[in-house]
Structure 1
């Protein structure tokens, strides 16, 4: 069953945004499922907005929100959830004692390890299906597309 809506445009060739979105969405769903299998069921799709924009030394909520393109309040809710479940902690910013940095805990670093493992497996699967040359070309084309946009 398709997750795409049944619309009159469904019979036209897919636009490039959907062709990019759908594999990403499927990979993300599989990543979340893997995290749950590995003992991290509290991590959901939206929490990627925290994890993917964290600096190793920690990042202010306002910076995370800006990087993710969301409000500071929404980001603060995501951080609070992850903090409650032990994935991140808030610590004083050494550059400004009034500010707090969000940084990963050991449990949060487990999430990164699971995701890195899953991505390596997924890329190996893609290479097995497409071949090394096509995968290299896909990477080059996506890099070129990103630069063009």
Structure 2
């Protein structure tokens, strides 16, 4: 698969889960800390939080874009929310893996209308495409 990026950014991490991360333009600098559940202090952000935030925001954008490509879809309401829950844990075959639960809320739309948009968003969202077949993703439309 060939991709011609229209935007790229670079993030640099030092110290791993208990270090820091920043992006090349200086717009984001975060102290990192492992969550208490993984033996850390919990006094900082962690990669799973960053992934959850990125996926949730990007998925809303993908759903909005989907409605511009398929006129049979209703517009995405301005107060749409996506709650992304990212879990990390050991894999049966070794190493660690992720699990993602997405909860989509589109006030004012029927369940059927919202589900059609959510399904279309997954086909477009780069996060959904990146994890497809590698990460268990469940989507609930509320």
Q: State the TM-score, normalized to the length of structure 2.
A: 0.38
Higher strand fraction (1 or 2): 2
Higher helix fraction (1 or 2): 1
Q: State the TM-score, normalized to the length of structure 1.
A: 0.37
**Structure having the higher Rg:** 1
